[in-house]
Amino acid sequence: MRRTTRHKVNLGVLYTVLLAVVLLLVLLADWAAVQENFFDPEIAKSLWPEIITVGAKNTILYTLVAFFGGLALAVVLALMRLSPIAPYRWLATAYIEFFRGLPALLVIIASGFAIPIAFGWRPPGGIVGAGLAALIVVASAYIAETLRAGIQAVPKGQTEAARSLGMSGPRTTIFIVLPQALRIVIPPLTNEFVLLIKDTSLLAIIGVAVGERELTTLARDELSLNSNSTPLIAAAVMYLVITLPLTQLVAALERKQQRAR
């Protein structure tokens, strides 16, 4: 057989298998039960408009707070990580390794329950504030590593050119290195942002006031209220509505950056 012919036959087999599996699943599923449990139109209607005005709104709000809080903290961490002063490097490395090594869920629980009990200190913003503080702390550890890579990817000649013009070290960092580093890490940062959108669902564990619920908390409450999984599906759709355009944006940015090289 010629190579192209064999290739076509192989592809044909693969498509047939895929089709067979899908057909089998469709035939085996109990569609009435599926619809009753996951796609109840009455329940879906009852979620409106809270799923947008409360759930989606808070998910986006919490993501933005966690991301930009984390980014600000990450700039400091990344610069400490690259500092010529060893103790700064150690501190930043310890912080980053510690919080990257823990599940975000544990940090949220610690921030929401353990720290207030142990130290009698309550973060501003109540339990949501505590959860967001935890998300900021965890996000900053990841973003700091991304930023460090970005800073190191800025050619050394850029620093040399700036210094040879008489610009001081800090000025060179602020006006020459960081702007270029941020540009380089926009795609991985957007990725970080998408991960954070989903991580806000972990706030469901600490239990927040009705108006402060994000998508997952809201869906879980509605799930137990109705003994029906439709709210979960609705929340899933909302997450995809938010995340899909963003992941497409990342892909577009990466293509653009490839071309610019």
Partner 1 sequence: MTSRITGAQPGARAIEIRDLHKYFGDNEVLKGIDFHVDQGQVVCVIGPSGSGKSTLLRCVNRLEEPTSGTILVEGVNVIDPEVDLDEIRSRIGMVFQSFNLFPHLTVMRNLTIAQNRVLRRGKDEAVEIARRNLEKVGLAGKEDAYPAHLSGGQQQRVAIARALSMDPDMMLFDEPTSSLDPELVGDVLEVMRDLATDGMTMMVVTHEMRFARDVGDKVVFMDGGVIVEEGAPLDVLRNPQHERTKAFLSKVL
Neighbouring CB atoms inside 10 A of 54's CB total: 19
**Residue 57 vs 163, nearer CB to partner 1:** 163
Q: Helix (H, G, I), strand (E, B), or coil: what is residue 216? A: helix
Distance CA 176, CA 163 (A): 10
**Residue 128 vs 184, nearer CB to partner 1:** 184
**Residue 60 vs 167, nearer CB to partner 1:** 167
Non-local CB neighbours of 176 within 8 Å, separated by 6+ positions: 154, 158, 159, 161, 162, 167
**Residue 125 vs 155, nearer CB to partner 1:** 155
Q: Work out how close the CB of 164 gets to partner 1 at its nearest, in angstroms, rounded to a whole number.
A: 4
Burial class (CB in 10 A: 0-12, 13-18, 19+), 50: middle
**Residue 48 vs 175, nearer CB to partner 1:** 175
Footprint of partner 1 (CB under 8 A): 155, 157-158, 160-168, 171, 175-176, 179-180, 183, 260
**Residue 134 vs 181, nearer CB to partner 1:** 181
Q: What is the DSSP string of 157-212?
A: HHHHHHHHTT--HHHIIIIIIHHHHHHHTHHHHHHHHHHHHHHGGGGGGG---GGG
Rg (Cα) of the chain, in Å, rounded? 24
Q: Work out how close the CB of 30 gets to partner 1 at its nearest, in angstroms, rounded to a whole number.
A: 58
Q: Work out how close the CB of 46 gets to partner 1 at its nearest, in angstroms, rounded to a whole number.
A: 51
Q: Work out how close the CB of 226 gets to partner 1 at its nearest, in angstroms, rounded to a whole number.
A: 53
Neighbouring CB atoms inside 10 A of 92's CB total: 21
Q: Work out how close the CB of 31 gets to partner 1 at its nearest, in angstroms, rounded to a whole number.
A: 56
Q: Work out how close the CB of 152 gets to partner 1 at its nearest, in angstroms, rounded to a whole number.
A: 16
Helices (H), 82-103: 86-101
